[in-house]
Amino acid sequence: MGHNNKETDKKNLKLTDLSSVGEFGFIEHIKKNVKKYNESTMVGIGDDSAVIKNSNMYSLISTDMLVEGVHFDLSYFPLKHLGYKSVVSNISDICAMNGICKQITVSVAVSNRFKLETLDDLYDGINLACKRYKVDLVGGDTTSSQKGLIISVTAVGIVDNKKICQRSGAKNNDLIIVSGKLGLAYLGLQVLEREKQVFLVNPNSKPDLEPYKELVERQLKPEPRTDLIDFLEKNSIIPTSMIDISDGLSSEIIHICNSSGKGCILYSDKIFKDQTLLKVCEEFNLDPISVIMSGGEDYEIMFTINPNDYKKIENSDLDLYVIGHITNDKNTYLDLGNGSKAEIKSLGWKSF
Amino acid sequence: MGHNNKETDKKNLKLTDLSSVGEFGFIEHIKKNVKKYNESTMVGIGDDSAVIKNSNMYSLISTDMLVEGVHFDLSYFPLKHLGYKSVVSNISDICAMNGICKQITVSVAVSNRFKLETLDDLYDGINLACKRYKVDLVGGDTTSSQKGLIISVTAVGIVDNKKICQRSGAKNNDLIIVSGKLGLAYLGLQVLEREKQVFLVNPNSKPDLEPYKELVERQLKPEPRTDLIDFLEKNSIIPTSMIDISDGLSSEIIHICNSSGKGCILYSDKIFKDQTLLKVCEEFNLDPISVIMSGGEDYEIMFTINPNDYKKIENSDLDLYVIGHITNDKNTYLDLGNGSKAEIKSLGWKSF
């Protein structure tokens, strides 16, 4: 009998907790043993999407797994929104390679407390995102789970092989640009968590979410920045590197700097701080810059461009913000505007 | 607050149990609301893989989700074998379209009882399958689960657009062929389940699995029939339809007949019955034909060919068995060899 697993369990005291390695550490650990067998594999583990060579148009593959109780709480996250968001987060990964998402597969595992009609809500959201972003649902798997709802989405996209943007292409003096308001999704989550606690104490409470509408919407119904990808195409801009901001600005800029072998200076006063963000940060006694640096799920895009391309973006209708530049020395700094600077550390999403 | 889900829960009495719909019913239900937005989507939900047009070589996408306690039991399923099998089942889906698997992504959710070293066992098996079948692991996601281990694998393959085999192309009088021994993996599972029960009663028992070695190996370490795909290519055979036998012969032949709008006659005495299968069926008091028709996880391939192609396969070194033929009337029959015939019903794997 294969009691190997039981034997491993007995030795657990000597073993390594996944939490001590972290998600990024675990990915690095896996990468060490991964070999490449096919010439068509252009980019493997470690970017927003994998890149596969076909003709001059390359395929992009990205995948995400969402687990109830880890990534979402169904007591305040409607299933329709969850379906929508699970598609959006994958479209965003394809955008982050400068590509266009064309197909997705969705696998779902559900415990027996779920009924057909509740799953219909989930698929309504999935289909709505597919319609909005012209993406085809082409496959998947459905099965039961021991506990809760698990959703795994894989997105397939295309990109012109001359326009692929990886994390690794940033050059010295390149401008660092973000596509919109950051930190709102994280604050939306704080509001929803607070209202959940109120509801648990007093189920008759009727929360007024109106003042927090934008924040809650950013958390429950984010949109991928396909408009940015269109804009870059129309204006013949090819960013030197690109990433989507799903884990917070800190960990994303560190990904770009590490992958590119560079450093950066970001300017605290150049990072757009929305009025609602400032107000709600005060209410929750949170530091706005910390929220922006560490809060996740914005699904905005950060990219770097050659300074010569600045004239192509300065009059854009899009909400683009130049927040700093790439440096040759490998330090990642945040200029706090008072003559002092802080080292940026990765405080992104912890999966374990 | 989005208490929609709670409201749906209250109405549960009127709602539909997923088990009453079944996996295939649920897939049909989802398909109804799925629209197509991209010309590149050649085949969507409902075959072994999706088909995406690039150049003359098309991409194939297939995905599977495996859940602890539903699809596998870690008390007798070593993690290394589980990793291997999770890749194999997806390679098999790509084979079933007459394609070659080139890349996979693997997403894993684990509860906190798993340690880094135990996950290493899983990835050892994944990497071994990748090496054996020249497949690149190009991405994935890792996260925690509320309970148990969940693995979601997506495979990407290629196929010449003139050689794609779907389930839907079977023609009247086409020969129905299977690629090898069926039912062994199911019997392997029965042996392992029995030994688990013995072990639970007497943990000091030392089971002798030697007589069941082949069965247990077929369950724990199945292999995809990439050799068959090579053989078809070398001998210029393009099957008219194709499917992999993961859920049992009954449900697979019904998939082919329904998708093709045809029927079939299978001959009980033409279906290869291995000596070990017969012996162990007697020991377990099981009917060999029922085991073959309903037992899953063989990962053999069933395909149909024009009768004119028979001469190309009759002297093959591979273990190919002609087990029946396609008929124009839509009945699916099994000829029992004693002058009687039985209607084939789908008794495949139940996910819910």
Three-class secondary structure assignment of chain B: CCCHHHHHHHCHHHCCEHHHHHHHHHHHHHHHCCCCCCCCEEECCCCCCEEEECCCEEEEEEEEEEEECCCECCCCCCHHHHHHHHHHHHHHHHHCCCCEEEEEEEEEEECCCCEHHHHHHHHHHHHHHHHHHCCEEEEEEEEECCCCCEEEEEEEEEEECCCCCCHHHCCCCCEEEECCCCCHHHHHHHHHHHHHHHHHHCCCCCCCCHHHHHHHHHHHCCCCCHHHHHHHHHCCCCCCEEEEECCCHHHHHHHHHHHHCCEEEEEHHHCCCCHHHHHHHHHHCCCHHHHHHHCCCCCEEEEEECHHHHHHHCCCCCCCEEEEEEECCCCEEEECCCCCEEECCCCCCCCC
What is the reported pLDDT for B13?
Answer: 53
- Tell whether B350 is covered by a domain: no
Domain annotation covers residue B194: yes
**Can you give the pLDDT at residue A116?**
82
Give the pLDDT band of residue A54 (cuts 50, 70, 90).
confident
| Mean pLDDT to the nearest integer, A107-136 | 90
pLDDT at A68 over 70: yes
- Are A292 and A268 spatial neighbours (Cβ–Cβ below 8 Å)? no
- The answer to whether the CB of A110 falls within 8 A of the CB of B18 is yes
Cβ neighbours of residue B332 closer than 8 Å, sequence gap 6 or more: B253, B254, B257, B263, B264, B343, B344
Better pLDDT: B32 or A79:
A79
On the question of pLDDT at A340 being above 60, the answer is yes
pLDDT for residue B6 = 45
How high is the pLDDT of residue B179?
Answer: 95
Residues A228-286 pLDDT 10s? 999 999 999 999 999 999 989 999 999 999 999 999 999 999 999 989 999 999 999 99
Domain that holds residue B154: 37-160
What is the CATH classification number for the domain harbouring B255?
Answer: 3.90.650.10
Q: Are residues A94 and A132 in the same domain?
A: yes
B179 and B324 part of one domain: yes
Interface contact flag, A103 B207, Cβ < 8 Å:
no
Distance CA A138, CA A136 (A): 6
**B128 and A CB contact within 8 Å:** no
Are A41 and A156 contained in the same domain? yes
B236 and B203 in a common domain: yes
What is the Cα–Cα distance from A238 to A85, expressed in whole angstroms?
27
- Domain assignment present for residue B32? The answer is no
Is the CB of A1 less than 8 angstroms away from the CB of B145?
no
Question: Are A242 and A323 in the same domain?
Answer: yes
Q: With a CB-CB cutoff of 8 Å, which residues 150-209 of chain A face chain B? A: 150, 152, 154, 156, 158, 192, 195-196, 199, 207, 209
Boundary of a domain, candidates B116, B134, B160? B160
Same domain for B149 and B230, yes or no, is: no
pTM of the predicted model as reported, rounded to 2 decimal places: 0.90
Give a yes or no: residue A191 inside a domain.
yes
pLDDT of residue A46: 78
Mean pLDDT of B334-340: 92
Cβ <8 Å between B112 and A19: yes
- How many structural domains compose chain B? 2
For residue A3, pLDDT over 70 is answered with: no
The dihedral through the CA atoms of B123, B106, B83, B78 has a sign that is positive
Residue A186 and residue A222 in one domain: yes
Task: State the average pLDDT for chain A.
Answer: 89
Q: Is the per-residue pLDDT at A2 higher than 80? A: no
Q: B160, B189, B220 — which closes off a domain?
A: B160
Query: Counting one residue from A and one from B, how many pairs have CB atoms under 8 Å apart?
Result: 336
Are B141 and B220 contained in the same domain?
no
| Residue B76 resides in a domain | yes
Pick from B8, B291, B142: nearest CA to A63: B142
pLDDT for the residue numbered B351: 52
Q: Return the pLDDT at B8.
A: 47
pLDDT at A25 over 50: yes
* Confidence band for B117, pLDDT divided at 50, 70 and 90: confident
Nearest Cα of chain B lies from the Cα of A209 at a distance, in angstroms, of 8
Whether A3 is covered by a domain: the verdict is: no
Query: Which chain B residues are Cβ-neighbours of A107 within 8 angstroms?
Result: 63-65, 152
Same domain, A255 and A155: no
* Residue B203 and residue B82 share a domain: no
| Residue A109 forms contact with B (CB below 8 Å) | yes
- Would residue B25 count as lying in a domain? no
| B114–A44 C-beta distance less than 8 A | no
Structural domain includes residue A351: no
A39 and A76 fall within a common domain: yes
In chain A, the percentage of residues whose pLDDT exceeds 70 is: 95
Q: Does pLDDT of A131 surpass 60?
A: yes
Q: Are residues A138 and A27 in the same domain?
A: yes
The CATH number of the domain where A88 resides is what? 3.30.1330.10
Torsion angles phi and psi, residue B276, rounded to 5: -65, -40
Cβ pair A44:B19 closer than 8 A: no
- Model confidence at B66: pLDDT above 70: yes
- Report A:18-77 residues touching B (Cβ under 8 A): 18-19, 21, 23, 26-27, 29-30, 33-38, 40-41, 43-45, 49-50, 52, 54-55, 57, 59, 61-65, 67-71, 74-77
User: To the nearest whole angstrom, how far is the Cα of B228 from the nearest Cα of chain A?
Assistant: 20
Domain end position, chosen among A160, A193, A217? A160
From chain B, the residues in CB contact with A63 under 8 A are 105, 107, 139-141, 152, 154
Chain A contact set for B80 (CB, 8 A): 4
Residue A29 has pLDDT above 70, yes or no: yes
Q: Which chain A residues are within 8 Å of B124, Cβ to Cβ? A: 33
